[in-house]
């Protein structure tokens, strides 16, 4: 007769084998999707590169809502969807402090409140002097060193961000803090998108391996240290200026004021500020790189944009005030179209279901990851005519800003989903609208952007499907021609930058804070 222990052991093994046999299967009632394999589910079918293209194909085959089974995780692509699924390696690489990865809860809501106050529309209007200064600076950079256009774009978006968050400019493309931030972000994106990171999420048992052989664990910790060191240095320097009374208006001043009223630790605030810097710098740079590519590939769109800005400005340098001119509609349409045509977060950021739900007759299990396949939506032939083409004319009758459209109650009428959706929609959309308007209007006013030539004099047309990056995608840098449309416009750019420098000191920082900048939250 078998002992009770052996019976218990046999039962335990049988139960474990039964549970293991269920891993990789599509739960009953879930949305349809590609056939699965035991244990793996659909994990083996996820491409290592350009996964957004495959996800679009599955949407065409299985419908607007379908499921992927990734080991132990149910992923549904398409208030209770506002959390985030646990991303083990990403969380270790950021100490769980990057807002974009936080679970829905009190900490996320508190940080969201900070950003909402900082980025609300009435505050954004006060940031216009910074946007105009930096876009003037990048125009001058393009005159002097046009071959470094993608480096100028990164400096431009980073300098806008450092001013709004920390109150200092980034005047050079080789600024050490700029290079360190982009290097850290690139490494974070690489480790987040690595296949081994996904394994630790879909098979959580692997997390119990010894740290020395746990996939990517030590690498994630090294990225975490670099991220926290940079964020801490920037925060404590900003906080020192607040304490000494020398700080200029910026987000960190508001955070320091909030810390004096609430119990918020320094590193939490340091990473909150760093989140704003990274998001505004990296995503906007990716979008602007996409616009440059669109102008080179779609020359007719460039000519239409030039005609539109010429009607508004003539030989005058464009300004933010031109955004409200009805004649600038094509430029505003370019803003919408580049956000649709080149979405940087092609697959969005996964949401997590905090309780079981039903949608379109399908069962959505608690804990499932819900992914808004932004690339697939933006390339949907049923939603957009000729969606692969960069065609701003599709928005000529749409006079809403992209941020107004994103906040509208009817998602079927949204112009694009580049800002995400739901409670976690991007708070910086008002800044993005204005940053893009200035950057789009000024280069097309001042320059002709053309393909580079090969040895035989033929145009080198960049491949719009050749994207780089993991979490954020952007065109692979490519050679191009940047030529002033006339000497008078080149002179206007030089004069605008000369006038702007009167506002800066010898270190290329603001002598005085632009009037109207908000000081606290």
Average pLDDT over residues 199-221: 71
Cα–Cα distance for residue pair 19/21, rounded to 1 Å: 5
Band of pLDDT at residue 265, cut at 50, 70 and 90: confident
pLDDT the model gives residue 262? 76
Cα–Cα distance for residue pair 105/270, rounded to 1 Å: 19
pLDDT the model gives residue 483? 96
Q: Indicate if the pLDDT at residue 518 is higher than 70.
A: no
Q: Indicate if the pLDDT at residue 1 is higher than 60.
A: no
**More confident position, 353 or 32:** 32
Average pLDDT over residues 501-517: 85
pLDDT the model gives residue 266? 86
Has 426 been labeled as part of a binding site? yes
- Return the minimum-mean-pLDDT range out of 69-83, 100-114, 240-254, 507-521: 69-83
Name the token pair of 376. Answer: 């697939």
Helices (H), 149-262: 149-166, 176-193, 195-202, 217-244, 251-261
Highest mean pLDDT: which range of 202-216, 356-370, 436-450: 436-450
pLDDT the model gives residue 80? 40
Average pLDDT over residues 376-398: 93
Q: Indicate if the pLDDT at residue 513 is higher than 60.
A: yes
Number of alpha helices (DSSP H) and beta strands (DSSP E) in the chain: 19, 11
The structure's pTM equals: 0.84
pLDDT the model gives residue 204? 72
Mean pLDDT of the chain: 82
Q: Tell me whether residue 31 is exposed, middle or buried, using C-beta atoms within 10 angstroms of its C-beta: 0 to 12, 13 to 18, 19 or more.
A: buried
What is the percent of the chain with per-residue pLDDT over 90, rounded to a whole number?
35
Whose structure tokens read 């739900």?
357
Average pLDDT over residues 449-472: 89
Q: Indicate if the pLDDT at residue 425 is higher than 80.
A: no
Band of pLDDT at residue 120, cut at 50, 70 and 90: low
- Return the minimum-mean-pLDDT range out of 163-172, 269-278, 459-468, 478-487: 269-278
Determine which helix (DSSP H) or strand (DSSP E) holds 319, and give its type and residue range: none
Cα–Cα distance for residue pair 467/133, rounded to 1 Å: 30
Tens digits of per-residue pLDDT, 65-98? 888 877 666 676 554 444 455 565 666 666 666 6
Band of pLDDT at residue 151, cut at 50, 70 and 90: very high
Tens digits of per-residue pLDDT, 283-309? 889 999 999 999 999 999 999 999 999
CATH classification (class only), 79-501: mainly alpha
pLDDT the model gives residue 200? 65
Q: Let me know: does 432 contact 323? Beta carbons within 8 Å.
A: no
């Amino acid at each position: 007769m078998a002992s009770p222990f052996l019976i218990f052991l046999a039962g335990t093994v049988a139960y474990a084998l039964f549970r293991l046999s269920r891993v990789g299967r599509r739960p009953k009632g879930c949305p349809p999707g590609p056939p699965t394999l035991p244990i793996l589910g659909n994990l083996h079918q996820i491409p290592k590169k350009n996964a957004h293209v495959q996800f679009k194909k599955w949407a065409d085959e299985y419908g607007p809502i379908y499921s992927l089974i990734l080991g132990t995780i149910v992923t549904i692509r398409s208030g209770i969807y506002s959390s985030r699924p646990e991303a083990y390696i990403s969380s270790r690489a950021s100490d769980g402090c990057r807002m974009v990865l936080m679970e829905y809860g009190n900490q996320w809501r508190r940080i969201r409140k900070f950003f909402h106050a900082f980025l609300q529309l009435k505050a954004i209007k006060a940031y216009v002097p910074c946007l105009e200064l930096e876009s003037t600076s990048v125009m001058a950079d393009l005159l002097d060193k046009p071959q470094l256009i993608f480096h100028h774009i990164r400096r431009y978006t980073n300098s806008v961000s450092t001013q709004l968050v920390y109150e200092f400019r980034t005047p050079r493309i080789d600024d050490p803090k700029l290079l360190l931030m982009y290097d850290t972000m690139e490494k974070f994106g690489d480790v987040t998108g690595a296949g081994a990171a996904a394994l630790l999420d879909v098979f959580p048992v692997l997390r119990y391996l010894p740290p020395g052989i746990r996939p990517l664990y030590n690498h994630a910790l090294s990225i975490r240290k670099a991220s926290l060191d940079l964020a801490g240095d920037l925060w404590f320097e900003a906080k020192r200026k607040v304490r000494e009374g020398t700080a200029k208006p910026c987000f960190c001043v508001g955070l320091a004021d909030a810390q004096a009223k609430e119990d918020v630790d320094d590193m939490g605030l340091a990473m909150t500020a760093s989140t704003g810097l990274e998001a505004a710098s990296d995503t906007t740079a990716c979008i602007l790189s996409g616009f440059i590519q669109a102008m080179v590939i779609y020359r007719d769109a460039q000519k239409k944009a030039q005609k539109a800005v010429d009607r508004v400005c003539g030989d005058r340098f464009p300004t933010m005030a031109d955004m409200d001119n009805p004649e600038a509609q094509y430029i505003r349409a370019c803003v919408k179209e580049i956000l649709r045509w080149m979405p940087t977060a092609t697959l969005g950021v996964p949401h997590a279901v905090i309780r079981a739900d039903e949608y379109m007759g399908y069962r959505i299990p608690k804990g499932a990851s819900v992914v808004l396949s932004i690339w697939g939506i933006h390339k949907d032939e049923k939603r957009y005519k000729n969606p692969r083409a960069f065609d701003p004319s599709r928005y000529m009758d749409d006079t809403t800003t992209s941020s107004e459209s994103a906040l509208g109650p009817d998602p079927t009428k949204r112009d694009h989903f580049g800002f995400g959706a739901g409670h976690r929609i991007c708070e910086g959309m008002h800044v993005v609208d204005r940053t893009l308007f200035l950057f789009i209007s000024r280069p097309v006013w001042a320059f002709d952007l053309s393909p580079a030539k090969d040895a035989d004099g033929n145009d080198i047309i960049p491949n719009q499907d050749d994207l780089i990056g993991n979490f954020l995608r952007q065109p692979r840098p490519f050679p191009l021609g940047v030529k002033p449309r006339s000497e008078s416009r080149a002179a206007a750019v030089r004069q605008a930058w000369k006038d702007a420098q009167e506002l800066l000191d010898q270190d290329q920082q603001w002598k005085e804070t632009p009037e109207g900048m908000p000081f606290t939250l």
